[in-house]
Amino acid sequence: MSPLLVKAQAPDASGCTLKITPESAGWRYVGFSTYRRKPGETLAFRTPDKETCMVILSGTASVKAGDQLFARIGKRRNVFEGKATSVYLPADTPLEITAESELEFALCTAPGGKDGKVRLIAPEDVGEETRGEATNQRHVRNILPDTAEADSLLVVEVITPGGHWSSYPPHKHDRDALPEESFLEETYYHRLKLAQGFAFQRVYTDDRSIDETMAVEDGDCVMVPRGYHPVGAPHGYDLYYLNVMAGPKRKWVFKNDPQHEWMLKKA
């Protein structure tokens, strides 16, 4: 199995089904984990030196963040049913999550300070856009873009219809060389509309020191430390992924693979 692929697991005692830390990934910035909770179950978290974006994948929760309570938030039954409800927390903010229904959520973390403000990111606060054409078309939901207030985190959801490609033509963001390109570590958390489905993701560098092609299943996560990282969704299997990015500068500026950039040029 590729060292860049993290497989979903049965929930542990805390309900955790997947966990990536900077230490386990061998990088500096991005942390990502997913949890499942039954109605009435509660989990508490606190990250002293990291900011957090809690994304409700499905279900309803009451979330206490610092001294604020967001009661019974989250309405979608699955990740394909509309935009997410999320909560942003600066570093060292106590977080308590109580499931009001069957609940799935993700915790996205990156280095951050304590000066930001806790805030609810409601579905109506999430910008939505369609990118690409024909079988390169996908639908993007910007939960925490680089225009929103945060220290390091960038968080986005993408729906790729079956038979389409995404993060395509292949692009990368692995050089701290603004304004031409930014350095951002990234995770891709994948879900399939039909759970028996699969998708493909490739991660490769110009010199092929990284060249991995992975079949991903429902609940799997791909780590992108550097390199280009296109995704393909087979016919019949709509694909969702949740991206988390972070790096030394909070700006998403990418470079397309020059061998494939021709397809963006109009005749």
> Using one digit for the tens of pLDDT, what is the confidence trace for 207-232?
999 999 999 999 999 999 999 999 99
* Pick from 39, 28, 45, 89: nearest CA to 62: 39
User: What is the torsion angle, in degrees rounded to the nearest 10, for the CA atoms of residue 95, residue 221, residue 229 and residue 246?
Assistant: 20
Ramachandran assignment for 49, one of left (phi > 0), alpha (psi -120 to 50 degrees), beta (any other): alpha
The CA angle 21-55-244, to the nearest 5 degrees, is: 45
234 neighbors 197 (Cβ within 8 angstroms): yes
User: What is the torsion angle, in degrees rounded to the nearest 10, for the CA atoms of residue 146, residue 208, residue 31 and residue 74?
Assistant: 60
C-beta neighbour count of 235 within 10 angstroms: 9
What's the distance, CA 209 to chain centroid?
A: 25
pTM of the shown model: 0.96
Q: What was the pLDDT predicted at 80?
A: 97
73-79 LR contacts (CB < 8 Å, sep 24+)? 73/120, 73/122, 74/103, 75/123, 78/191, 78/193, 79/157, 79/191, 79/240, 79/242
Domain residue spans of the chain:
5-258
C-beta neighbour count of 104 within 10 angstroms: 22
Q: What was the pLDDT predicted at 266?
A: 65
> Among residues of the chain, what percentage have pLDDT more than 70?
99
Mean pLDDT of the region 26-32: 97
Q: Residue 49: what are its φ and ψ, rounded to 5°?
A: -120, 20
Q: What was the pLDDT predicted at 240?
A: 98
pLDDT in tens, 51-80: 999 999 999 999 999 999 999 999 899 999
Select the CATH number that applies to the domain covering 5-258 from these four: 2.60.120.10, 1.10.4080.10, 1.20.59.10, 3.30.70.260: 2.60.120.10
Q: What was the pLDDT predicted at 267?
A: 45
Q: What was the pLDDT predicted at 124?
A: 96
Beta bridge partners of 3: none
